[in-house]
Amino acid sequence: MDDRDLSVLWLQSAGCGGCSISLLCSEARDLHASLDSAGVRVLWHPGLSEESGDEARLILERCASGEIPLGALCVEGALLRGPRGTGRFHRHAGTGVVMTEWVRKLAGMARYTLAVGSCAAWGGVASAGENVTDACGLQFEGDQPGGLLGAGWKSRGGLPVINIAGCPCHPDWVTETLTALALGAFGARDLDPLNRPRFFADHLVHHGCTRNEYYEFKASAHKPSDLGCLMENMGCKGTQAHADCNARLWNGSGSCARGGAPCISCTEPGFEEPGHPFHETPKLAGIPIGLPTDMPKAWFVALAALSKSATPKRVRENAVADHQVVVPPVKKTGLK
Amino acid sequence: MTRIIVGPFNRVEGDLEVTLEVRDGRVAEAWAGSPLYRGFEQILRGKHPMDALMFAPRICGICSVSQSMAAASVLADAMGLTAAPNGRITRNLAHAVENIADHFTHFYLFFMPDFARAEYAGRAWHGPAAERFRAVRGSAAAYVLPVRAAFLTAMGTLVGKWPHSLAIQPGGVARALEASEKIRLFGLLRDFRRHLETVLFGDALEAVAALGSEAALARWAAEKPRGDFGAFLGIADDLNLDKLGRGVGRFMSYGGYPQEAGLLLPRGIWNGGLHALDEQAIAEDVSHAWLDGETRHPAQGVTRPQDEKAEGYTWCKAPRLAGLPMETGALARQVVAGHPLARNLAARGGDVKSRVVARLLEIALILPEMEKWVRQLVPGEPFCAQGEMPGTAAGAGLVEAARGALGHWISVADGRIANYQIISPTTWNFSPRDTDGMPGPLEQALVGAPAGEGDVAVQHVVRSFDPCMVCTVH
Ligand code: SF4
Ligand code: SF4
């Protein structure tokens, strides 16, 4: 291993493994080789590496003692502080030691610490409901700074925990962040106010959505499988969620909205408890309460009324059908 | 006699710790432990019933579609809703993509790398096996990852994204496929078939699916080089993997892939003979879990953590069918479905070799079905039936995940979830002891396995079940 390479240790705390599984969907030619080419060396990953049992435990111990210099600690899954502050809802298998303890120790040694996925970033689904497990993120608890490591915590490399939020996160968000770190091309200015990498968090899911024409005319879906905009009735938060899902796309050419599902803003802290059923848009006097954040409400209402009255028949009728019932007309142009 | 703790287990999904009592170099007793509790059943209480569609896939990132399918069918059951034909087919396709990709991933990335280990350096096959199957750096990993990712692009088309799609609905899917997408899917399936036939099997899928006995399988493998499957069969012979990891000999399948008339893979149990599955005979015992309560059918199940419990050694409950542990998974599914090779293999009661063969056999059986399903799609016809959830209702959703029987049970009161219980396949396979002291299937399968210094046998047994611990402990 080259001194300048970024060595990575990956731990799975209380999550579903989905962020790792998502990573394997990276459409890079060969994930392992492309990480390697970028100077990212994986010391150990619980799902992929060969070492098991004692050998794995030894790697962890040598990283914790500083014997193996640790470039980046990636944590996937929420940190469970329960029951009664003991952390015993999650012991690291085979070590007898609770995961919160391992994470504290290893984060203290790593140059950078990354929260992979919304569980590790904010607590995520693990912290929903009454949160009996006392789940939290590495450096946030919902949208409140703090979490396991504390609000003011900085890694040896001078950065707070890098929150690669998402449930799961897109594979590119992980590979590109690690690559940028390995290149030394990632600093405090590359993080948004919630410490998410700006390269994906400075976008809105709304950007590039194939339903944008329906959105413009407020031609809305009313039931699952309708083609219309999912924002007015179906609970979609794409206009508020920070992510590039409709521009970058998932699994070849997909996204939540392309699959007919609302964006539930899985990159945002607290997405797991929206205070309303996920598939419904909460409204006040018939107007959705969660409007685009950078637009005055009165404008939105006025524009919506105007655009609804101007909706072409094609857009209006297709919005409530599951396939195009009116196709764009073909004009006789007379061009030769 | 020594007691050892094996963990962290690598290349299994989630946390697993196995405690072994070793006598004369062999496992005398085993205890399977899951040192993680997340509490989904508690989280779901009081939520809107449809919210299960958001939470359920997040139980497990590796079989999220299976969890979505169980949630969609438990809701459909409670609503009395039948899916639109196109929706049913699309859901089957998404589910089969996940299950097949899972078998494929398990074989290459989770199971085979153990044969590359230095412990086997003296074996004739070790050189090529190490070059091919070594974790991360083997030639198979470099080949498999892009092939797998390309196959999973079918999920982008079918359900928007994977894992954790919200497109799977009680009435079908949230988005209708277009004619061009139907063609794209067909192309993706054919691409994957080509990889399987040239690299994994070295033969047509139909020829693999037609193998009718273990002897026929051996003849087929001896005929000519049979790809990576052939390599496995050679290693299995040399290491006597047919004698390792003997199971409980009772297999259960909830059945899967609903067709226009009935299930493609039937529901039932097998214990040397085929029997109907009495769903009411399922119960979860919590005597050795860090949980409170008594043995109950999941429709009345409770989940209350109790971490200070002397007899507890895991967060996993012990599901039993009529009081008995059951093995579940691809072998169970194919045995219940009556596949002659699977029935032949399972006569021994289940073992490491049989479980791996059954998974690969299932790939060869299901992909050709998927090609038929794609042809049955009729773009322009509905993909989603619409329904209403009554204020008071109850339901069960029983599906087959890659690892076996997955059940969700719901009761709804005042329009909210009053109770939601989940039994995952690995909860069956890796269950702890019950009130009678009867060990779970893995705990029994480990007994007798060599467990000396540098022995990998225990790892093979554990991985032959393809455990998924995050599912188990949900
Ligand atoms: S963030 Fe979501 S996908 Fe990632 S581990 Fe947590 S639940 Fe799974
Ligand atoms: S579209 Fe929304 S819910 Fe879907 S992955 Fe992106 S941020 Fe998450």
Residue minimizing CA distance to atom 3 of ligand 1 = A168
A256 C-alpha to ligand 2 centroid (Å): 6
CA dist B166 and B26 (Å) reads 47
**Predicted local confidence at residue B470, as pLDDT:** 83
Name the minimum distance, in Å, from the CA of A78 to any CA of chain B: 9
Amino acid in position B37? Y
Q: Of chain A residues 262-301, which have a CB less than 8 A from chain B?
A: 262, 264, 266, 277-279
Lining ligand 2 with CB less than 6 A are A 166, 205, 241, 243, 245, 255-256, 263-267
> DSSP 3-state assignment of A18?
helix
Q: Which of B145, B159, B291 to mutate to test the interface with A (most CBs of A within 10 A)?
A: B145
Q: Which residue of chain A has the CA closest to B34?
A: A93
At B360-384, the pLDDT tens digits run 999 999 999 999 999 999 999 999 9
User: From the alpha carbon of A12, which atom of ligand 1 is closest?
Assistant: 5
What tokens does B390 get? 């009554």
The closest-lying atom of ligand 2 relative to the alpha carbon of residue A205 is 1
pLDDT tens across B55-104, in order? 999 999 999 999 999 999 999 999 999 999 999 999 999 999 999 999 99
With beta carbons under 8 A apart, name residues in chain A contacting B158: 259
* Percentage of residues in chain B having pLDDT higher than 70: 100
A83 interfaces chain B, CB cutoff of 8 Å: yes
Task: Determine contact: A24 vs chain B, CB below 8 A.
Answer: yes
Q: Compute how many other C-beta atoms are within 10 angstroms of the C-beta atom of residue A145.
A: 15
Averaged pLDDT, B277-301: 97
User: Torsion angle of alpha carbons A161, A163, A168, A170, nearest 10°?
Assistant: -120
- Measured between beta carbons, the chain B residues lying within 8 angstroms of A83 are 305, 307
CB contacts, 8 Å: B307 with chain A:
83, 86, 88-89
* CA atoms of A74 and A181, how far apart (whole Å): 12
State the amino acid at position A15 in one-letter form.
G
B12, pLDDT greater than 80? no
Q: Mutation test of ligand 1: which of A133, A136, A167 has the most ligand atoms closer than 8 Å to its C-beta?
A: A167
Distance separating alpha carbons of residues B41 and B415, to the nearest angstrom: 17
Under 8 Å CB-to-CB from A175, ≥6 apart: which residues?
A: A23, A26, A28, A31, A34, A35, A38
A:89-118 residues touching chain B, CB 8 A cutoff: 89-95
Q: Could you write out the DSSP letters of every residue in B276-299?
A: ---GGGEEEE-TTBTB-S--B-GG
B1 has pLDDT over 90: no
Question: Over the stretch B417-434, which tens digit does the pLDDT of each residue have?
Answer: 999 999 999 999 999 999
pLDDT, position A52: 85
B420 has which bridge partners?
B410
Q: In Å, how far is B165's CA from the nearest CA of chain A? A: 7
Task: Inform me whether the C-beta atom of residue A316 falls under 8 Å from chain B C-beta atoms.
Answer: no
Ligand nearest to the Cα of A18, by number:
1
pLDDT in the model for residue A287: 84
B268-270, strands of its sheet edge to edge: B251-253, B268-270, B274-275
CB contact under 8 A, A31 and B17: no
Q: Does residue B18 register a pLDDT over 70?
A: yes
Taking an 8 Å cut-off on Cβ atoms, the answer to whether A15 and B61 are in contact is: yes
Instruction: List the single residue in B43, B135, B152 with the smallest CB-CB distance to A50.
Output: B135
Nearest ligand to the C-alpha atom of residue B60: 1
What distance in Å separates the CA atoms of residue B301 and residue B278, rounded to the nearest whole number?
Answer: 17
Q: Residue B365's pLDDT is what?
A: 98
Q: Chain B: nearest CA to A145, how far in angstroms?
A: 22
Test the B interface: residue of A36, A51, A52 with most B CBs within 10 Å: A52
Task: Count H helices and E strands in chain B, helices first.
Answer: 17, 15
A224 in reach of chain B (CB within 8 A): yes
Residue among A12, A57, A260 minimizing CB distance to B167: A260
Q: How far does the CA of residue A97 sit from the closest CA of chain B (Å)?
A: 10
ipTM given for this complex: 0.96
Closest ligand by atom to A243 CA: 2
Report chain B residues whose CB lies below 8 A from the CB of A91. 35-36
Distances (CA, A) of B84 to A41, A234, B174, B375, B386: 48, 20, 11, 16, 9
Q: Is B21 left (phi over 0), alpha (psi -120 to 50) or beta?
A: beta
How far does residue A204's CA lie from ligand 2's centre (Å)? 10
Q: Confidence band (pLDDT; 50, 70, 90) for B11?
A: confident
- Spell out which residues of chain B touch residue A8, defining contact as CB-CB under 8 Å: none
- Across chain B, mean pLDDT equals 96
In chain A, at which residue ranges do the beta strands (DSSP E only) sit? 6-12, 40-44, 72-76, 79-80, 112-116, 135-136, 140-141, 144-145, 162-164, 283-284, 287-288
**What are the tokens at A160?**
């707070």
Nearest to A91 by CA among B35, B172, B352: B35
Output the pLDDT for position B166. 96
Other Cβ atoms closer than 10 A to B4: 14
Residue B351, judged by CB atoms within 10 A of its CB (0-12, 13-18, 19+), counts as: buried
Rounded to 5°, the CA angle A81-A83-A84 comes to: 90
Q: For residue B471, what pLDDT is reported?
A: 82
Annotated ligand binding at A16? The verdict is: yes
The pairing of strands B26-33 and B17-23 is antiparallel
Q: Rounded to 10 degrees, what is the CA torsion of B389, B392, B394, B397?
A: 20
Tell me which residue of B278, B314, B303, B293 sits closest to B420, measured CA to CA.
Answer: B303
Separation of alpha carbons B321 and B279, rounded Å: 8
Task: List CB contacts of B383: < 8 A, sequence separation 6 or more.
Answer: A225, A322, B84, B86, B87, B90, B172, B173, B175, B176, B177
Query: Which residues on chain A are in Cβ contact (under 8 Å) with B292?
Result: none
B468 labelled ligand-binding? yes
Tell me whether residue A25 is annotated as binding.
Answer: no
- Give me the percent of chain B exceeding a pLDDT of 90: 94
- From B426's Cα to the closest Cα of chain A, the distance in A is 14
Pick from A123, A143, A165: which is nearest to A19 by CA? A165
Q: If you measure CA to CA, which chain B residue comes closest to A253?
A: B156
Instruction: Give the pLDDT confidence score for residue A4 in this predicted structure.
Output: 67
Phi and psi at B415, nearest 5°, equal: 75, 10
Mean pLDDT by 10 residues, chain A (336 residues): 81 96 91 92 92 91 97 98 96 91 98 98 97 98 98 98 98 97 96 98 97 96 98 96 97 97 98 97 86 80 89 96 94 74
Least Cα separation, residue B423 to chain A (angstroms):
16
Which pTM was predicted? 0.97
Interface A–B counts its CB contacts (< 8 A) at 273
Bridge-partner residues for A220, per DSSP? A229
Please list every protein residue whose CB sits less than 6 Å from any atom of ligand 1: A 15-16, 18-19, 76-77, 117-119, 124-125, 167-168; B 58, 61
**Number of other residues whose CB lies within 10 A of the CB of residue B293:** 17
Q: Which ligand is nearest to the CA of A79?
A: 1
pLDDT score recorded for residue A274: 97
